[in-house]
Structure formats: structure tokens, C-alpha cells
Homo-oligomer: A and B are copies of this chain.
Amino acid sequence: MSEALRTDLYQLTMMQAYWKSSHNPIATFDYFVRKIPSGSYLVSAGLIYILDYIENLRFEDDDIDYLKTQDFDEVFLEHLRDFKFTGDILAMPEGSLAFPLEPIIRVTAHIMEAQLVETFVLNKMNFSTLIATKATRIVHAAHGRAIAEFGLRRAQGDGFLEATRATYIGGCASTSNVLAGKKFGIPISGTMAHSFVTSFDHEIDSYRAYAAAFPKRCFLLIDTYDSIEGAKKAVVVGKELEEKGERLLGVRLDSGDLCELSKQVRKILDDGGLRYVKIVASGDLNEWKIDELMNKGARIDMFGVGTELITGRPNPALDGIYKLSDVIERGKHIPKMKLSEETKKATLPGKKRVWRIIEDGKFVKDIIALDHEIIKNAAPILSQIVKNGKIVCKKPSLDKIRQIASENISKLPDIYKKLDNASEYPVEFSRELTELREKIVDKIRKEE
């Protein structure tokens, strides 16, 4: 399905203005992030959606019909019927680490084309990158304990699927979201709800019913009435399962002082001879709470994380932007930048690439350079994914992307991974880029 109208109105009005003034030069735009909401790095995600979008981008008859009701020029709208994306796109592969100001995606095309795709690129990349990054922080805080994503009910509506995909890229072990399991092959996991427990006359009846239905994948929710009493009943049912040659897999805590309860419940399980039963904890968890639980010695084997993971709370949006950096006029590159009142909102001019210096398997620093520059002893981070409108890259499997993310994270030194006050990863500009930037600033200040 084409998503041509999944854009801001101004992209279409600007397109008409470009068209009407016969001003449709080849332009280059960079998708990048000025400031990372939490931490020092981003895990780039969402690129698969950009590829699918570019492949299918066209205006359907009913799109044109709708635009006819919106004051557009009829001739311009007829012209849109033949619209195709014919440009080039470079991008960091999904799962790559990105740092502030680095182009994560670089689009070069006639400005009408490059402008239209802006909104879709921002909508998709901002969100998937935000959630994949958040997931890596939560996974990191859990020191190897598995993270199960439980967020569907608190996800922002139809964004739930791509959100779950991003949590998996970021290292979550499973999801509660069955559709994501079906669609992406992500392992699915789940236990039982309080309603299951309360629907029976007695808590232990609900445990026995569940154990009978799933003797091989039985997790019992123990906090509906009283977690300690719940744990004792779980031991009873665990013993009953043993008699049938099965094993209770785990119990889940969903409220109260998770650290203290986990220790008490661990003791009850161990005293009952059920050392193998795992303790799952959930309930408004995030990277900071998990970190605290781990530091306090909580006896938790697996965390279920919902709201904060699936929405990125407290930062539900990545302020990624898409800025013009170069225009070709009369065969000549004209580097472009936005200046604005606030220097911090200025942009980097020119067509650029990103290089990463890696020593002893660890990321040392990145360099943003102009397109023609070769940075020695450094790896280029952007690669071509679209050429003349055609996809020229492979679409890696989700597991491959997850592995890329994991390898990248392992190469990032720990000082950049601290939950708070992480060090700022060094991103330098090449000398040519620095000089170009100064030249353009001078030129703009003089002219405008």
C-alpha cells in the first residue's frame, strides 16, 4: 500500500511551489538527532519501513481526488500521478549505534521527492530508534536477566507492532504481543492475569486450573491477594506438578516491594524444595528501577516491562530532524545550513559521511566528514541502500539486526552506557567540514 499522503501538508504545498517556480534541484537532506533524551547513544532502527515505503511510493487515484478538494493546482496534481522516488539514500544499517549530529539517513534526490519523504522518515525512524535504544538500556540494567516486553496495552495505539519489533532489536527476550510473534517471529511469553485468579472461588483453584491446562509452561501470579500466601500455594501446586512428572516454571510478582518480596518468596520456594522455580517481576518497571533492584540483591530471574519500554517514558519522542545540507545548482554543489537565533539549532552543511574509529574491538570516536573525504583507519558507517530509486541493499532478518545491535553495544565502552551521567561519546568534524561550516555561517550573516 502506498503511504504517499502519510505526510505533512506543507510537504505537498512546498512541492507545488517548487514545481510552479521550476525550482527542483537535486538536494541532500540528513536525518539526525541533536540531543539524545537519555544516555549517550542511539540504536538506529526502523530502516525496513523506509525501504518498503520507497518501493511502494505513489499517489493513488483517491489520493489525487482528495487533494483536489484542497486548493491544489490541477496540473500539479496530474503531475503527481507519475510521481516516483528516483533518488539515492545512504543509511546506517538497522541496529547500528548513532550519536548526536551524525546523519543516520542521507537522502539525495530532486527536492520535490526528498521533501515529500521527510515526514515518513521522521515518523518511523524517530519512534523505532527511540524504543530500540530504550530497550538496550533496560537490558543493560538487568545484567543478563531476561526482559519480557509486556507493553501492548499501554502502547500508543497502532504503533504497538513496530514498538515490539524495536524492543526485540534492543535485546528483549520475548513479548506478550501475539501478533508481533506471528508477524516477526519474536518469542512470545505470558503468565496469567489477576482476573484469572479472582474468577475462581479460591486462588489455589485458579493455580490448579492453569497447571492442568499448561503443565509444561506454568507461571503463577501470586500477588492477587497476598504475595506470601500466594507463594505458599504455588509450592503446593508445584509439588502436585512434580507428582505428574512436570515442573512449575515460575511465579510472578506484580506489586509491593519487589526486592523484599522476591527474597521472601525465594525462601518459600527453596524451603519447599522448588529451587528451580523462577521469579518473574513486573509492575511499572524501567531501567532505573531494575538497576536498583539488582543493586539491592533482589532475587528476580526475569523482568516483565511494559509502559516505560513501549512508550519510551519519560521521553516518548526522539527529536530527530531532517535538514537540507546541499543543493546542486547549475551543476555546482551549494552547501546549505539553517542558522536560527539559537546556534544550538544550527545544522551541518554539505553532503557528509560518518566514520568510526575502532581500536581493540572498542568504539573510540566518530568523525563526520564531507562526502569525498576518506578517513584513514576508520570504518564508514553509512552505506547505500537506494540508488536511482531502487533498493540496492539486502533486508536483513530481524534476528540479524538484533545481533548487529548486540555486537555494537558490546563494542561501546561502559562509560557511555551508564544510565545517568553517561560520558559523551566523541563525535568530531573533519577539518574540511569545520572550514566549510565557518565559511557558510559568514556568508549567511553577510547576506541575510
Chain A interface (Cβ within 8 Å of chain B)? 3, 5-14, 16-21, 23, 25, 27, 29, 46, 62-63, 66-67, 70-71, 73, 111, 115, 118-119, 122-124, 126-128, 150, 152-163, 176-179, 181-182, 188-196, 198-203, 209-210, 212-214, 216-217, 223-227, 229, 255-257, 307, 310-319, 322-324, 327, 329, 334, 336-342, 345, 444, 447-448
What are some 21 contacts across the A-B interface (CB < 8 A)?
A8-B153, A9-B189, A14-B196, A14-B210, A27-B199, A66-B178, A71-B214, A123-B154, A127-B155, A127-B157, A155-B156, A194-B324, A198-B324, A199-B327, A225-B340, A226-B341, A227-B341, A307-B319, A311-B317, A312-B316, A313-B315
| Set B162, B193, B313, B448: member contacting A10, Cβ < 8 A | B193
| 16 additional contacts (CB under 8 A) given A18-B196, A198-B324 | A6-B160, A9-B178, A9-B188, A14-B210, A20-B212, A66-B178, A118-B153, A154-B317, A158-B161, A195-B322, A201-B329, A201-B334, A225-B448, A255-B340, A310-B317, A311-B317
User: In the assembled complex, how far is the CB of residue A219 from the closest CB belonging to chain B, in whole angstroms?
Assistant: 9
Nearest CB of B to A364, in Å: 32
A17 close to B195 (CB less than 8 A): no
Assembly CA distance A329 to B23 (angstroms): 74
Specify how many copies of this chain sit in the oligomer: 2
B177 near A8: Cβ-Cβ < 8 Å: yes
Residue numbers in B under 8 Å from A67 (CB-CB) = 178
Cβ of A324: which chain B residues have Cβ within 8 Å of it? 194-195, 198-199
**A17, B156: Cβ atoms closer than 8 Å:** no
- Considering the complex, give the chain B residue whose CB is closest to the CB of A160: B123
Chain B residues whose C-beta falls within 8 Å of the C-beta of A123 in the assembled complex: 152-155, 157, 160
Q: Which residue of B lies closest to A17 (CB)?
A: B213
In the assembled complex, which residues on chain B have CB atoms less than 8 Å from the CB atom of A342? 255-256
Residues of B with C-beta under 8 A to A327? 199
- Complex Cα gap A212–B22 (Å): 12
Contacts of A217 in B (CB 8 A): 13, 71
Q: Is the CB of A188 within 8 A of B70?
A: yes
Given A13-B192, A255-B342, A156-B209 contact (CB < 8 Å): no
Chain B residues closer than 8 Å to A155, beta-carbon distance: 123, 127, 156, 159
> Residue on B with the closest CB to A24?
B199
Q: Which of B17, B201, B212 contacts A209 (CB 8 A)?
A: B17
Contact A181 B127 (CB under 8 A): no
Question: CB within 8 A of A182: which of B63, B118, B126?
Answer: B63
